[in-house]
Structure 1
Amino acid sequence: MKLRFTKMHGAGNDFVVIDATRRPFAPTPQLLRRLTDRRFGVGCDQVLVIEPPSTPDVDFDYRIFNADGSESGQCGNGSRALARYVREAGLSAKDRIRVRTSTSVLELACVDGGLFRVDMGLPRLEPAQIPFAAAARAPRYTLTLANGDAVEIGAVSMGNPHAVLRVDAVDDAPVEQIGKALQAHPAFPQSVNVGFLQVLSPARARLRVYERGVGETLACGSGACAAAVVGRLWGLLDAVVDMELRGGTLRIEWQGEGQPVLMTGPAEAVFTGEIEWPN
C-alpha cells in the first residue's frame, strides 16, 4: 500500500509525520529504520504519529519514534511541528490543543508570527523520576566515564532524560565522544540525551545535543528546555533565555520550581509524499 506522510522540521530537527487518526499505524523497528534512512527512505531524525485520543482530556495521542526504531516519550521540536500539521491538515481548528505522549500531556499553541509554543510541563528533578542513579537530588553530579575522565552534569527529565554539561565553546566540545559515554553510563538505566551548554549571557546561550537513538541533531527542543532549567539552577541563566542551536533559536521560559517550562519556536512543512509500505 501507499503510506502518505509529511516531512517537517523545527529549527532543523526534522520529522516524518504520519496521520493515524483514521487508519492505525503499527511500525516495526525494521520498517522505521527504512523510513528514517536518508539514502534509502524519506530521511528524518524522528517519526511522529498522530492518533485518536485515548482519554477525553486530550485532543490527540502522539507517538515519537527514533531513527533506530526505539520510542521516545518527548520531542519538543516535534510537538511544534505536530501543532502546525494538525492545523494545516484540518484535524483541528483550535488555537490550543492538548496531546498525550507515552510520558506526558502537552499543551500546544499557535502564537504570533507563525511561531508555536509548547507547554512542556514541570521539569522532573528527582533522580528516580529521570531516571538517574543518585543517592539524593543535587544541582550538580560528578560521573566517572569508562575512560576514567570525570564530568560534572546537571540531570533533569522533560518527559525524557537529559544530562547537561557546561562547556567553554560548543564548537570545540567532544559531543560524540562524551555523548556516547554518558548514554552507556550505568547511572542512566534508560540511556540519556546529552546537552553541551555554552553560556553567552544570562539571556543567551548556545547548545548542542547528542540524542539517544539518533545521535547529534541540529536542534533538540526538550534538550533546550533541560539546558535552560539546569542553567537556571546553576545561577547562570535568566528565566527567559534564547537558546541557539545549530538549526535555529528557541526561546525557553522557566520561572523556577513548581512552574512549567515554555518553549517557543518555528515549525515548517517541507513536502508531502507517499512511500510503498507493507500492508
Structure 2
Amino acid sequence: MSHTAAPRPFVKMNGAGNDFVVVDALERPFRPTEDQVRALGDRATGEGFDQLIAIEPSETADAFMRVWNADGSMVQTCGNALRCVGWLLMEATGSDRVVIDTAAGPTTASRAGDRRVTVDMGRPRLDWTQVPLSEDMDTRGIELQVGPIDAPVLHTPGAVSMGNPHVVFFTDRQDDGFVSGSGSLVEHHPLFPEGVNVGFADVQARDRIRLRVWERGAGLTKACGTGACAALVAAARRGLTDRKAAVIVDGGEMVIDWDADTDHVLMTGPVEIERTGLLPF
C-alpha cells in the first residue's frame, strides 16, 4: 500500500521583487531534497522563485525561518524573506512585532505601515574572519579586481557580512551582461571560502544608492535585502553616503538605516502576496 504525502499549501510572495515560495512547516516538517528544490524553483516548469522558505517552530522565537536558494543550497538568511515571513506571522498573531530565528541568528520584524515591514538585521560583521575571507584584509576595500591588472573594470570592493557574505563594488556599470558576467566570476573566487553575494552599487546621492546584486546560488535577482544592507554599510564606511539611505533595486525601493547608537542595520520595505497554491510533497 503506497502512502503519498498530502499536498502542502504555499504562499508565493515577494519583497521588492525578490520572490519566494513560503511553506508553513510549524506542524508538519518540510525537508525537500536539493533536486526537489531545484525543480520547484524552475521558472519554466516549477513554481519559480529566488528562494524557498520554510516557517518552522522555534523554542526561542515566534518561528524559525529556513532558506534554500533556487539551486538547492541551504543558506543562512534572506533579508527580503524576513519581511515577508514577519508580515505573515504578524497577520497570524495580530502582533505588531515578531522575533524570527534564522541560521544566522534571531531578528526582529515590526510593522512599518500597510504591507511595509522593518527588520532589525543586527550588527554588520566587518572583520575579515566574519565575512569570511580566506586572508586578512581591511574589509573597507579588499584586494580584488576584475579585468586587466593595469586597467581593472572593477576593483577594491567593500566586504560585509549581514549573516551572509557580501562584496560591494562601487560602479555605474549595471547592465545585465556586466553584472551577470562579473558576478558569476567573483561568486566563487578563492578569497571567499563560502562563496559570496556580489553587489554593484551606484551612489547617486548621500541618501540614495542604485543597486543590482548577483546572488550566491540564485544569480541576478530583482532585489536582495541583505545586499541592500551591505551596500549601505560599505558606502557609509567609505564616507560615500550617510548612515541612512534609500536603496533602489530592480523590483522597488528599500530604506536602510545603520543606527549609530545600536550599530544595528534596520531594513524597511514592501511585502507583496502574489498567489497561493499546493506543493505535491
TM-score by length of 2: 0.92
Measure how far apart 1:229 and its partner are. 0.1
Where does residue 3 of structure 2 map in the other structure? none
Is 2:128–2:135's contact at 8 Å kept on the other side of the alignment?
yes
Q: How many residues align?
A: 273
Measure how far apart 1:160 and its partner are. 0.2
Where does residue 4 of structure 1 map in the other structure? 9
Q: Secondary structure at the match of 2:157?
A: strand
Change (3 A) 1:140 1:87: same
The amino acid across from 1:143 in the alignment is L
Where does residue 273 of structure 1 map in the other structure? 277
For 1:86-235, list aligned pairs within 5 A: 86-88=89-91, 90=92, 92-145=93-146, 149=152, 151-171=155-175, 174-235=178-239
Distance 1:32 1:65 in 2: 7
Structure 1, 238-247 or 132-141: larger mean CA deviation: 132-141
Is 2:87–2:115's contact at 8 Å kept on the other side of the alignment?
no
Out of 33, 36, 44, the position equivalent to 1:39 is 44
Change (3 A) 1:14 1:87: same
Is 1:145–1:185's contact at 8 Å kept on the other side of the alignment?
no
Change (3 A) 1:79 1:230: same
Measure how far apart 1:131 and its partner are. 0.7
Q: Secondary structure at the match of 1:84?
A: helix
Q: Secondary structure at the match of 2:143?
A: strand
CA RMSD of aligned residues (A): 1.7
The amino acid across from 2:41 in the alignment is T
1:243 aligns with 2:247: yes
Deviation digits for residues 214-233 of structure 1 (CA, Å, limit 9, x no counterpart): 00000000000000000000
Q: Secondary structure at the match of 2:114?
A: helix
Gaps of 5+ in 2: 1-5
Q: Secondary structure at the match of 1:118?
A: strand
Q: Secondary structure at the match of 1:43?
A: coil
Where does residue 63 of structure 1 map in the other structure? 66
The amino acid across from 1:19 in the alignment is D
Measure how far apart 1:250 and its partner are. 0.2
TM-score by length of 1: 0.93
The amino acid across from 2:100 in the alignment is V
Measure how far apart 1:8 and its partner are. 0.2
Is 2:9–2:279's contact at 8 Å kept on the other side of the alignment?
yes
Change (3 A) 1:155 1:171: same
Q: Secondary structure at the match of 2:230?
A: helix
Where does residue 20 of structure 1 map in the other structure? 25
Measure how far apart 1:238 and its partner are. 0.9
1:262 aligns with 2:266: yes
Q: Secondary structure at the match of 1:127?
A: coil
Distance 2:10 2:29 in 1: 14
Measure how far apart 1:103 and its partner are. 1.4
